[in-house]
Chains A and B, each alone.
Chain A
Amino acid sequence: MDLSYGSEYDAFREEVKSFVRSNKHKQPQLGDGIKSQAMRDWQRLLIEHGYHSRTIAREYGGYGAEPDIIKSRIIAEEFGAERVHRGFNGQGVTMLTPVLLEMGTEEQKKAFVEPTIKAEMIWCQGYSEPGAGSDLASLTTKAELDGEEWVINGQKIWTSTAHHADWIFCLVRTEADAPKHLGISFLLFRMDTPGIEIRPLVDMTGDANFNEVFFTDVRVPKHQIVGQRGQGWQVANAILGHERGSLATPDAAMNRLNGVKRLMREESINGEPVMSNAVFRDRLMKLEGRALAMQYNDMRLLSAKINKNQNVRLAGMIVKLIGTELRHEIECLGIDVMGEIGLSYGNNPHKRGHGSWQYQYMFYLGLIIGGGTSQIQKNIISERGLGMPKEPKIPSKTAVPKTAAREA
């Protein structure tokens, strides 16, 4: 066991610290949207210094450093310690870029990676459909080749940021007769293409961050496909792998838990600080124990990534499930600490922390559902982590068993 990163990293840490200290006044502020100049300037500054898109090659607009997990970790720690904006990390940056770098053509990498990481090209993820959520592979949005163009018809739902997006990466069915996992393709197209209609959906937080997206004869150049026809499922799964780990980091949970501690010191009931209430303190300590377990689990995962000498499959698989549920409960404690004040929302002058406790409490319920629900995570953990069998398939009602058909 050796938890030091080694003295060779001391200088690097100092470098990051001093960058953060002298530049943090330039970070985007609460009201700055993802398309604001402030966001783009900040993003550019971070990439220039290697604090974003660090290992992406310079020819694709990145910083071009050799991968060094410890340096990435130090950047995360120093930005986290000062609570400084990590830069724009929309779905295009975190999910599409790694896939393009791995599976895209040279033209695609050249065309898309640089503007994407610089926050000049905003993407949305068009996977889920009304009839295809957990069972994503049953999606039915259809693309047919007509000369040099795909013609797309169908509907997506829960498409986050579609209303801001310049482009969409989208799963569509191109091989009508293939088995369901083998008939899907991964297309990229502009959101202002004729035939696309976006209808915002208001979520429980009151925001309208996700949308229904309708496609009617949307025509897309044939070459805007990643991977081969029918390979879209593999491409999509490569992306989902990137998504899950990043949804619930233990560091953020710890930060929030410290926020609850501050609240418990500041808030009072009949003049007594909440912190002196044994029941609340016990809930706090219980959550701290759970958060610590996740923090050390994370260190183990980091170590396994660096040293490649431990099997941490299960330890990695459980992070989305446990991390999102934990975070939801931390936010819940924050609300309970405030009692009726915890209900404050919108323009209520009594709300604390800009109303973030209720907002995050709901937001994390969204994350428990999004990106593979908790139940789907448990399926994955039991099947791939513990070696338990898949659910037996129930034959569909319309399919008549062969023998029965013959008898008839």
Chain B
Amino acid sequence: MEFGLSQDQLLLDDSVRKFLASEVPLDKVRQLAAGEVNDASFWQGLADMGLAGLIIPEAHGGADLGMLDAVAIAEALGYAACPGPFLSTAIMSAYLLNQAGATDPLARMATGEYRVGVAFGDVIGSRKGQVTEINSALSGQSLFALDADADAYLVALSDGRVFMIEASEVGRSILSTIDVTQSVCELSFDQSPACLVSSNPELVWQTIYRGRVIQAADTLGAAQYMLDQAVAYSLDRKQFNRVIGSFQAVKHMCAEMASQLEPCRAFAWYAGHAFDESTDDAALTACHAKAHLAEVGQFVAKTSTEVHGGMGFTDLVGLHYWFKRIGFNRQLLGSPEAVRHEAAQLSDL
């Protein structure tokens, strides 16, 4: 019995974290926020490390690794608030295309040169707009498609069919959100030619569940960063001639963050593992992990900011990039209430 990361997974995790520490410092995230660089510069570096092809089969140029590996990496990416389409292209699209047997794009996705975004709003729960299809031509609109710089999109219709469409065939406008590290856009279709990839609604859901697990792990990493920063800041900042970390109110805030967050690590690991082993509870666990981390993440994001005092509220320490990333993960691919509702349905409750 062994519940944890393997030696190989620890090595991979370690090399990704080292890379992120040196190549994705806060200054680069700021440059992205200021529009001085785009996320392609980040993505190419990650792709060169093999992350773009992480779960793509070796036959198509990938590393053929599993969801637990992806969970470890997502945690590291969240910790660095690293920009780039890991969730959309490397996990969701790579998984769906491979399962659907539409393997042509995979080799170019594995090198990082080709990015496939996802527009699943009609399945997850659309607030506005809908996409319809007549004779393989799409019409309508899809909001909050993941990855505003993708080369193509997978568009899920409300009946669960999935079409692939080149970005050049759609109207696309970037939607600015609180989070600059993960991009979303609005797609509009006007009898745009698309290609049917899958008619299996279950495949869309399996893809969404995997995406949720990755988001949970990303939030775990981002929240861990915020906790670490809070503890470090509290040991440095002095008020009333003492470090603020010696005030019990501050200690208890940190203890509460740690107590809620630490079990989430094991939870995220299991959620990844469940897909690698195709356990019966994989979908349910994915929903629970996503919703639970949304709640714990929100608590940590708020509390860590408070520990930093006014500094936490400013742009100076940059903590808000993580706060916003956690906020983004909370809503995308299903808000906690919506996801828990699904969890109840999956349990026949």
State whether the Cβ of A387 lies closer than 8 Å to any Cβ in chain B. yes
**Are A2 and B2 in contact, with the CB atoms below 8 A?**
yes
Question: For window 306-323 of chain A, which residues contact chain B by CB distance below 8 Å?
Answer: 306-307, 309-310, 314-315, 318, 321-322
**Shortest beta-carbon distance from A303 to chain B in Å:** 4
Q: Which 8 pairs of residues, A with B, have the shortest CB-CB distance?
A: A289-B292, A303-B3, A297-B263, A382-B251, A296-B266, A285-B340, A378-B255, A381-B255
**Are A309 and B349 in contact, with the CB atoms below 8 A?**
no
**Are B4 and A300 in contact, with the CB atoms below 8 A?**
yes
Q: Majority SS of interface residues in chain A?
A: helix
Interface size on A, residues (CB 8 A): 53
Q: Which of B16-24, B55-63, B239-247, B324-332 has 4 or more CB atoms under 8 Å from chain A?
A: B239-247
Interface string of A315-334 (1 = CB under 8 A from B): 10010011000000000000
Give the docked Cα–Cα distance between A284 and B291 (Å). Answer: 13
Question: For window 312-349 of chain B, which residues contact chain A by CB distance below 8 Å?
Answer: 337, 340-341, 343-344, 349
- What is the interface of chain A, defined by CB distance below 8 A to chain B? 1-6, 70, 261, 264, 275, 278, 281-282, 284-286, 288-290, 292-294, 296-297, 299-300, 302-304, 306-307, 309-310, 314-315, 318, 321-322, 375, 377-379, 381-383, 385-392
State whether the Cβ of B278 lies closer than 8 Å to any Cβ in chain A. no
**Are B292 and A290 in contact, with the CB atoms below 8 A?**
yes
Given contacts A292-B285, A310-B4, contact A386 B255 (CB under 8 A): yes
**Are A375 and B252 in contact, with the CB atoms below 8 A?**
yes
Q: Enumerate chain B residues within 8 angstroms of A304, measured Cβ to Cβ.
A: 4
**Are A293 and B267 in contact, with the CB atoms below 8 A?**
yes
**Are B1 and A379 in contact, with the CB atoms below 8 A?**
no
Q: Majority SS of interface residues in chain B?
A: helix
**Are B349 and A389 in contact, with the CB atoms below 8 A?**
no
Q: Enumerate chain A residues within 8 angstroms of B265, measured Cβ to Cβ.
A: 297, 300, 315
Give the docked Cα–Cα distance between A290 and B288 (Å). Answer: 9
Give the docked Cα–Cα distance between A261 and B258 (Å). Answer: 29
State whether the Cβ of B270 lies closer than 8 Å to any Cβ in chain A. yes
Question: For window 279-293 of chain B, which residues contact chain A by CB distance below 8 Å?
Answer: 285, 288-289, 291-292
**Are A278 and B295 in contact, with the CB atoms below 8 A?**
no
Cβ-defined partner of B273 (8 Å) among A1, A375, A383? A1
**Are A293 and B292 in contact, with the CB atoms below 8 A?**
yes
**Shortest beta-carbon distance from B227 to chain A in Å:** 8
Q: Enumerate chain A residues within 8 angstroms of B1, measured Cβ to Cβ.
A: 2-6, 70, 302-303, 306
Q: Enumerate chain A residues within 8 angstroms of B168, measured Cβ to Cβ.
A: none
Give the docked Cα–Cα distance between A373 and B303 (Å). Answer: 22
Interface string of B120-150 (1 = CB under 8 A from A): 0000000000000000000000000000000
Cβ-defined partner of A282 (8 Å) among B246, B267, B340? B340
Q: Which residue from chain A places its CB closest to the CB of B292 in the assembled complex?
A: A289
Question: For window 257-273 of chain B, which residues contact chain A by CB distance below 8 Å?
Answer: 258-260, 262-267, 269-270, 273
**Are B248 and A391 in contact, with the CB atoms below 8 A?**
yes
Give the docked Cα–Cα distance between A297 and B264 (Å). Answer: 8
State whether the Cβ of B6 lies closer than 8 Å to any Cβ in chain A. yes
Cβ-defined partner of B251 (8 Å) among A3, A302, A379? A379
Given contacts A322-B259, A389-B245, contact A299 B349 (CB under 8 A): no
Give the docked Cα–Cα distance between A288 and B248 (Å). Answer: 31
Q: Enumerate chain A residues within 8 angstroms of B88, measured Cβ to Cβ.
A: none
State whether the Cβ of B234 lies closer than 8 Å to any Cβ in chain A. yes
**Are A318 and B3 in contact, with the CB atoms below 8 A?**
no
